[in-house]
Structure formats: C-alpha cells, structure tokens
Amino acid sequence: MSAHERAVDEHADAVAAATGSIDVSFDVVPRGDVQGIPLVEMTTADLTRAIVNGVTSNFITARAAARQMIRQGSGVILALDSGSAKGTTPMMGSTSAADAAIDSLVCGLATELGPHGVRVLGIWAGGIPETLTSERIAAVNASMQLDEAGLRAVIGGLDQMRILPRSPRLAEIADTAAFLASDRAYPITGSFINATAMSL
C-alpha cells in the first residue's frame, strides 16, 4: 500500500472515529487531462495520465469511505466528471477515456455496495464558467493561450453548446450534489446525473 493510500485510509478512520460516521464522500481532483490534440497525435503518457490519476484517486477515496459506510449500513459516494465519454465533442483527448473509466468504476462500486445500503453515483458537469481561467484552459490545451477576451469567447462558445440558454453555475452543481447525497435521492444509484445542460 502506498503512503497516499495509507493516508487516505487513516483520514477516513479518524473522521469516522471523531464523528461516528462518514455519510458522504465526494472525490474531485485534477487529473492531468490533455485536450485539443487528435488522439492519433497524443503520446501514450498524455492519454493514460488522466485515466490513471482519475481512477486511482476515485478508487482510493471511495474504498476508504466504503469500508466505513459498510459498517454503518449507509452512505453516499459521489464522483464528478464531464460526461464526455457519452458525447460526440471532438478533440477531448484523454478526458473522454478518463471519464469512461470513472463512469464504469461508479457502476461497479454501486452494484457491490448497494446491498450494504451504500449508494454510489455521480454528476456530469463540464465547462462551469466560474471554474474556467486562462491558466486552467492552457493546462489541458497548451495551444490555447487566452487573454481576457479569448476566455470570454470560450465561455460564450460553451453557452452556445448548451440546450438551455446558459451554462450551469457552480452553485447549481453544488445544489445537485447536495440533493443526490440526501435521502430524497434514495432511489438513485449506479448512474450519473447529466448536469451539463447538453444532450449526452
């Protein structure tokens, strides 16, 4: 077991000991995605980095939480990705493959943990305006070095891709996560909620 895995397990144990339970686990981490390069021109490392980082982080976090949740007979494990594995947007690079892997992990965990009263599900949310900066866009697509006007154009372009008149806001994604983690969403497990305002 790596030091990272041990640290996550120890943290979960400490939280459960201090509070009596772990009710919700929500894993959101940078994965090192690369976009804007045709798949046939990507390096193997650029493709696999987001997959390995995303699945590893979600797995380690979910496993630590699930062990506590199985004991208590309840809990919700949430994941987040862009839903690009279901869409047809070109040039998504490693993001689509990483999203597909996390989607599959969620379904597998839900099937195994459901009999213990633990729900596992996720949210598809991509291109949330408040989370986009020129630096973050350049981190996934080095060819996009944007000034303020360029950033506004990208956000405007995302708005145009939506079925609804505008892109979802961060607070709306948070509200969706809070609902999914609540008892009101009890029947929902083993799937992702599409909060992209796009048809996926």
pTM above 0.85, yes or no: yes
199 in a structural domain: no
Residue-wise pLDDT tens digits, 93-151: 999 999 999 999 999 999 999 999 999 999 999 889 998 889 988 888 888 888 899 88
200 in a structural domain: no
Alpha helix segments (H runs only) across the chain: 3-19, 44-72, 94-113, 134-140, 148-161, 170-181
Domain with residue 53: its CATH number is 3.40.50.720
Residue 1's pLDDT band, with cuts at 50, 70 and 90, is: low
Domain span including residue 157: 3-194
Residue-wise pLDDT tens digits, 86-98: 877 788 999 999 9
25 in a structural domain: yes
44 in a structural domain: yes
For the residues 77-84, what does the mean pLDDT come to? 95
* Tally of domains within the chain: 1
Tokens 């000991």 -> residue? 17
38 in a structural domain: yes
Closest CA to 35 of 112, 141, 125: 141
Count CA within 13 A, CB hemisphere, residue 147: 1
Instruction: Check whether 3 has a pLDDT greater than 80.
Output: no
92 in a structural domain: yes
Residue 154's pLDDT band, with cuts at 50, 70 and 90, is: confident
The Cα–Cα gap between 73 and 69 comes to 6
